[in-house]
């Protein structure tokens, strides 16, 4: 079950964290993985690790620039699976979020996903179908304190996912999204170190306990859900969002 043998999978932000876990698992399951990553060094390290269990390639690309994205996707030519995972975070309320930060969140998280959809969908149509998985967030479904711009961007991801699922169902293209809560990645560690340098342990524990299950999620747990949703076994699923949140949405009320 859940074989991706022979399928070509493009994973943005696949050089670290959730994206790396997805890339590694997809390769183990037989996919030919193409990592699109801004951080060339991280991507090279990920490909080196993945090459021990499967086949992977790296493409240096800033997803916020459509010309770069189109060039990479046209080089790949055939795509069966697209995982829109690249993204950045931001701390701030509406009145403390400056225009430049808001624009940056939009350019990477929203426009970046759009650019990849714009490039991939015609290739999938020509190929007779495909599967798209977009990484949204619990912030697209419930209010999260001090995450105004981030919530905006992930709400857009959720909405785009539903729109694409509707528009391309006749083309045999499925589109879903996942909404993780806090997942323990190097990104989270760096985020805490940057924003709370004097109380890293306290903030880590606080963020961990904000999930009713009592801990952060693991990248491998998110990758397992991604594998299912991108596999043929999920062929009857489209236009859905899947929270993977340790009970955050339903059990925190």
Catalytic site includes residue 150: yes
Q: Is residue 198 packed enough to be buried (19+ CB in 10 Å), middle (13-18) or exposed (0-12)?
A: exposed
Torsion angle of C-alpha atoms 183, 189, 193, 197, degrees rounded to 10: 80
Q: Report the 3 state secondary structure along the chain.
A: CCCCCCCEEEEECCCCHHHHHHHHHHHHCCCEEEEEECCHHHHHHHHHHHCCCCEEEEEECCCCCHHHHHHHHHHHCCCCEEEECCCCCCCECCCCCCHHHHHHHHHHHHHHHHHHHHHHHHHHHHHCCEEEEEECCHHHCCCCCCEHHHHHHHHHHHHHHHHHHHHCHHHCEEEEEEEECCECCHHHHHHHHHHCCCCHHHHHHHHHHCCCCCCCECHHHHHHHHHHHHCHHHCCCCCCEEEECCCHHHHCC
Catalytic residue among 150, 158, 168, 242: 150
Task: Give the catalytic positions in this structure.
Answer: 150
């Amino acid at each position: 079950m859940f074989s991706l043998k022979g399928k070509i999978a493009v994973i943005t932000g696949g050089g670290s964290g959730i994206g790396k876990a997805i890339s590694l698992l997809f390769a183990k399951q037989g996919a030919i993985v193409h990592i699109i990553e801004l951080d060339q060094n991280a991507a090279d390290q990920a490909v080196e690790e993945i090459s021990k269990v499967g086949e992977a390639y790296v493409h240096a690309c800033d997803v916020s620039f459509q010309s770069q994205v189109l060039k990479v996707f046209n080089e790949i030519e055939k795509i069966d699976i697209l995982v829109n995972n690249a993204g950045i975070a931001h701390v701030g309320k509406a009145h403390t979020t400056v225009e430049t930060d808001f624009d940056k969140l939009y350019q990477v998280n929203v426009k970046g996903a759009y650019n990849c959809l714009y490039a991939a969908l015609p290739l999938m149509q020509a190929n007779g179908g495909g599967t798209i998985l977009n990484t949204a967030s619990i912030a697209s479904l419930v209010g999260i304190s001090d995450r105004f711009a981030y919530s905006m961007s992930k709400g857009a991801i959720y909405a785009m996912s539903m729109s694409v699922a509707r528009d391309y169902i006749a083309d045999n293209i499925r589109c879903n999204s996942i909404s993780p809560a806090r997942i323990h990645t190097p990104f989270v560690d760096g985020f805490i170190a940057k924003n709370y340098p004097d109380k890293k342990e306290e903030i880590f524990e606080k963020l961990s306990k904000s999930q009713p299950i009592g801990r952060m999620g693991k990248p491998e747990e998110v990758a397992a859900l991604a594998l299912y949703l991108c596999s043929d076994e999920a062929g009857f699923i489209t236009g859905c969002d899947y929270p993977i949140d340790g009970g955050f949405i339903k059990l925190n009320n």
